[in-house]
């Protein structure tokens, strides 16, 4: 199992607040993504997170027709993306912590993080924590509203955020977040050109294999979320 995020090229993001049938979960697992990330924009607590983790880890739900007596564990790493410190549970391979770099609210840059560290410092395993520098670029997305992101900006501003992530903050990940809509490849390619040590993640609106190919050629890592719930198959091979 590769728990080093630097080796991940294709990620599936599952939202604990959204219903997902066993059949669909099994189909998604068969895509062979490099990692599964559990995360969303709220509407769930630690119990929903734990239940989804348990379902994701099993190859077949216990008692399902044709399921092995002892369900086999999934070999794919599973990470939790923390957007609410109250919705955290143990057992994940990695914990991803978003900083919304283009938020107008300091809480989304580091305030919530400071409060969570103050409360949970004794139980945090820092070896499993990785920071993501988010640049939220779809103004209509829930994450943009929640975080007060200044989502409408030109390519030069986005590129400056990418440089800031790499050179000022030394972040491991710069995440171009177009959640819900397919972003312009020219933005991704402009950011690609200025990043070297910070890895570039792209997420947003990938529904087809052609879109997955296009963004995978520009970003280090691509993330698929909504497609899981809409019945699309951007990572499928059949
Ligand atoms: C969401 O970037 C991910 O955080 C993926 O976006 O849901 O639009 O695929 P979609």
The pLDDT of residue 73 is above 80: no
Class of domain 5-230: alpha beta
Q: Tell me what the mean pLDDT of segment 37-66 comes to.
A: 85
Alpha helices in the chain (DSSP H): 22-29, 46-57, 106, 112-120, 142-147, 155-163, 185-194, 209-216, 226-230
Query: Is the CB of 226 within 6 Å of ligand 1?
Result: yes
How far is it, in rounded angstroms, from Cα 184 to Cα 219? 12
Q: Give the ligand 1 atom nearest the CA of 226.
A: 7
Q: What is residue 19's three-state secondary structure? A: coil
Residue of 79, 203, 231 with the most ligand 1 atoms within 8 Å of its CB, for mutation: 203
**Which tokens go with 38?**
């559990």
Please state the pTM of the whole predicted model: 0.94
How far is it, in rounded angstroms, from Cα 156 to Cα 11? 27
DSSP string, 158-194: HHHHHHIIIIIS--SEEEEE-TTSPPPHHHHHHHHHH
Average pLDDT of the chain? Answer: 93
Query: Is the CB of 223 within 6 Å of ligand 1?
Result: yes
**Which tokens go with 236?**
């499928």
Q: Tell me what the mean pLDDT of segment 157-174 comes to.
A: 98
Q: What is the pLDDT of residue 65?
A: 56
Sketch the domain layout of the chain as residue ranges.
Answer: 5-230
Per the model's pLDDT, the better-predicted residue between 141 and 61 turns out to be 141
The pLDDT of residue 61 is above 70: no
Query: Is the CB of 227 within 6 Å of ligand 1?
Result: yes
The pLDDT of residue 238 is above 70: no
Tens of pLDDT, residues 92-134? 999 999 999 999 999 999 999 999 999 999 999 999 999 999 9
Torsion of CA 51, 52, 58, 59, to 10 degrees: 150
Q: What is the pLDDT of residue 176?
A: 98
Question: Which residue's entry shows tokens 């379902």?
Answer: 55
Q: Inter-axis angle of helices 209-216 and 185-194, to 10 degrees?
A: 20
Centroid of ligand 1 to alpha carbon of 203 (angstroms): 5
């Amino acid at each position: 199992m590769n728990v080093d995020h630097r080796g991940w090229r294709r990620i599936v993001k599952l939202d604990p607040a959204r219903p997902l049938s066993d059949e669909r979960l099994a189909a998604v697992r068969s895509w062979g993504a490099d990692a599964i990330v559990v995360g969303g924009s709220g509407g769930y607590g630690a119990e929903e997170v734990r239940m989804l983790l348990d379902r994701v880890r099993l190859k077949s739900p216990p008692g399902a027709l044709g399921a092995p007596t002892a369900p086999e564990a999934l070999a794919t790493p599973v990470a939790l993306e923390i957007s609410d410190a109250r919705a955290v549970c143990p057992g994940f391979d990695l914990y991803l912590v978003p900083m919304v770099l283009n938020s107008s609210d300091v809480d989304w840059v580091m305030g919530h993080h400071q409060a969570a560290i103050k409360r949970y410092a004794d139980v945090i395993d820092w070896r499993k924590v990785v920071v993501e520098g988010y640049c939220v670029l779809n103004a209509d997305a829930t994450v943009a509203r929640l975080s007060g992101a200044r989502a409408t900006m030109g390519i030069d501003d986005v590129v400056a955020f990418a440089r800031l992530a790499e050179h000022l903050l030394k972040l491991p990940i710069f995440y171009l977040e177009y959640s819900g809509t397919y972003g312009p490849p020219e933005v991704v390619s402009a950011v690609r050109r200025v990043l070297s040590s910070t890895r570039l993640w792209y997420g947003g609106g990938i529904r087809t294999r052609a879109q997955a190919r296009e963004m995978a050629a520009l970003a280090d890592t691509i993330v698929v979320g909504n497609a899981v719930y809409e019945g699309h198959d951007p990572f499928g091979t059949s």
